[in-house]
Structure formats: C-alpha cells, structure tokens
C-alpha cells in the first residue's frame, strides 16, 4: 500500500485497504461477470478430463492418466478471459468544487479510481487511465502489473481540474479510440447538457463496451444547505449570480432530481450502469454497495 499512501491521505489509503480485504468476496464475481464469452483467452483453470478425440492438441494429453489407464485423456480447462478497463476522469474546473467536505469532487473520484484500479489489478485485469475536459488530454495505456496503481496515482496527483467542459465530445473521442471491447468507468459531475452526453454514451455502448457512469456531486450540490441571499459563481465562465437561496431551494432540488432521473432512465435503457454519488458518502462503502448490487443481478 506504500504507493497509495504516497499519493493519498493515510485515512483514504486505509479505506482502500479495507475495500481490498472485502474484495475477495466480490471482485471475482463482479469482473468475471463482465468477461465476454466470445473471447477465448488463456486457459488457466483446470476443470475435468475427457477422452482424447481427433483434432485435440496432443500437448493437452494427461500422461499420468494414460500411465494408469492406458487410455488417452485430455485435460479440459475453463477458459478465463481478461477485460481491459479504462478509468475516464473529468478534469473540468467544476470538479474542484467543495463546500465543507474533506474531499472535493475530483479528489473523491481519484479515490474511487484508485480503488477500482486496485481491484482490477487484484483480478489481473489490465486497467488504464484517460483524462479529459473539452477533449482527451492524456492517457495511460492499460497494464495489469502491481506498479500500475502507483503510475496511475502519480499521474493523477499532478493534475488539477481547471479546464472547461465538453463531456460529450470527450466521450465520443473515447468511443473512437477504443478498438477492443473494454470496461469504461467514467467519473464526472456531468454538469452539461445531458442529451449530447447520452448520445456519446450510446456510441461507446454501440462499440460493445461495458460502461459504468459514476455521477459524483458535492454534498452541497445535492442537499443545497444555503439560506438567505447567496452569491454563486459559475466555475468555468466565472459568472456571478446573487439568488435568494431559501426561495429557490425547492425548485433547485426538484431540478436536480429530474437531472439525475434523466440520466438514470437513459442509462438503464442503453445498458449503462449509472451510479449517483456525493462527496459526503464514504467512498469505500458506496463502491462496495454498488459492486454487491451489480454482482447480484
């Protein structure tokens, strides 16, 4: 865990560590559920014997069985495949917003990404990183080595969420760059027009990729704890607006619920996992709840 502790606060590292202890019960079923049956990777798990038939590879003959029975049997294996994961991280300026929480949205997403990277490497699945704002800014190629977590966190620790936003264009670029079926884990506050984002998600799904959309908002964006006249600043355009927070609270919360429900409905229809989160949630518990629910489907 030294690489984690180097880039994340110790209490966050401990959360990832605890998550890993429980991963043995969850991760195998979760990730293998995503492994596509058309892919035939290396056969690694011995299953049973069957009689040798013409066309079988002689290298698969079990000579110990032959010595005992004087008959040819081949080892039958269960094919195990690997799925390639991409962590797609929103670098837009709005991700830096925080109101009274220990982690802002970007830091919270780093914790989620680190945990998922750790869990995929635990499963020997390669995982890479894509960062974006108005377009793809950088990418780390997928690796399944233990050092990948350190490389990923080292890269993220040098980034600041300070760009403008074009989530839809970025996701469309991601759809175009991926040549092989993958698991795309997107981390964003999705503060943009939903319809182009939904269309871009459809492009990714059309390519045969599995998608998990982690919709991460600040606790204050979800609960709107403000009262009286408050001045808000739009983080990317720097526009300022004074509002009667008490007067608009109900309308705001209603709009937010509709915003989330729109994504939930569209994602359900296209087979994307939609995971709404906020920064008040302990990320390891939130992630574990999602993984368990996913496995139970």
As a whole number of angstroms, the distance between CA 229 and CA 254 comes to: 20
36-40, 161-165, 287-291 — which is least confidently predicted?
Answer: 36-40
The C-alpha angle 20, 23, 29, rounded to 5 degrees, equals: 155
As a whole number of angstroms, the distance between CA 249 and CA 255 comes to: 10
The C-alpha angle 200, 185, 15, rounded to 5 degrees, equals: 150
Model pLDDT, residue 267: 96
Band (216; pLDDT cuts 50, 70, 90)? very high
Angle in degrees, 0-180, between the axes of helices 105-122 and 10-32, rounded to the nearest 10? 50
Model pLDDT, residue 217: 96
Beta strand spans in 144-227 (E): 182-188, 210-217
Q: What is the CATH number of domain 2-35+83-295?
A: 3.40.50.410
Q: Which residues contact 100 (CB under 8 A, 6 or more apart)?
A: 219, 220
Compute φ and ψ for 195, nearest 5 degrees: -60, -50
As a whole number of angstroms, the distance between CA 40 and CA 144 comes to: 18
Higher pLDDT, 290 or 161: 161
Bridge pairing between strands 273-278 and 210-217: parallel
78-115: pLDDT as tens digits: 444 578 999 999 999 999 999 988 889 998 998 888 88
CB 109 within 8 A of CB 67: no
Residues 38-62: what's their mean pLDDT? 58
Model pLDDT, residue 46: 43
Residues 241-255: what's their mean pLDDT? 87
Q: What is the mean pLDDT of the chain?
A: 80
As a whole number of angstroms, the distance between CA 286 and CA 264 comes to: 17
Model pLDDT, residue 186: 97
Band (12; pLDDT cuts 50, 70, 90)? low
Residue 259 has pLDDT above 50, yes or no: yes
What residue ranges do the domains of the chain occupy?
A: 2-35+83-295, 43-79
Nearest-CA neighbor of 112 among 259, 247, 8, 229? 8
Model pLDDT, residue 226: 87
Nearest-CA neighbor of 272 among 193, 222, 206? 206
Beta strand spans in 67-156 (E): 73-79, 84-90, 127-132, 136-143
Band (236; pLDDT cuts 50, 70, 90)? low
Q: How far is CA 177 from CA 11, 57, 136, 169, 182, in A?
A: 36, 37, 10, 12, 11
Residue 215 has pLDDT above 80, yes or no: yes
As a whole number of angstroms, the distance between CA 245 and CA 232 comes to: 10
């Amino acid at each position: 865990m030294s690489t984690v502790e180097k880039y994340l606060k110790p209490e966050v590292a401990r959360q990832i560590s605890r998550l890993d202890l429980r991963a043995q019960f969850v991760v195998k079923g979760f990730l293998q559920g995503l492994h596509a049956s058309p892919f035939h990777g290396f056969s690694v798990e011995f299953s049973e014997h069957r009689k040798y038939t013409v066309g079988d590879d002689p290298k698969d003959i079990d000579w110990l069985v032959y010595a005992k029975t004087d008959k040819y049997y081949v080892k039958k294996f269960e094919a195990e495949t690997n799925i390639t994961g991409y962590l797609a991280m929103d670098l837009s300026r709005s991700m830096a917003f925080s109101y009274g929480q220990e982690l802002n949205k970007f830091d919270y997403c780093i914790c989620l990404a680190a945990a998922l990277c750790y869990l995929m490497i635990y499963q020997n699945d390669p995982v890479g990183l894509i960062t974006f704002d108005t377009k793809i800014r950088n990418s780390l190629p997928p690796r399944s080595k233990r050092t990948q977590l350190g490389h990923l966190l080292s890269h993220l620790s040098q980034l600041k969420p300070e760009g403008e936003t074009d989530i839809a264009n970025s996701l469309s670029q991601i759809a175009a760059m991926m040549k092989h079926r993958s698991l795309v884990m997107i981390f964003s506050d999705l503060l943009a027009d939903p319809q182009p984002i939904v269309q871009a998600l459809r492009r990714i799904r059309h390519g045969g990729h599995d998608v998990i959309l982690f919709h991460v908002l600040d606790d204050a964006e979800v609960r709107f704890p403000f009262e009286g006249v408050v001045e808000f600043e739009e983080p990317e355009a720097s526009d300022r607006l004074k509002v009667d927070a008490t007067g608009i609270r109900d309308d705001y919360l209603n709009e937010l619920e509709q915003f989330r429900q729109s994504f939930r409905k569209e994602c359900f229809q296209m087979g994307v996992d939609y995971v709404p989160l906020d920064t008040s949630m302990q990320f390891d518990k939130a992630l574990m709840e999602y993984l368990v629910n996913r496995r139970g489907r």
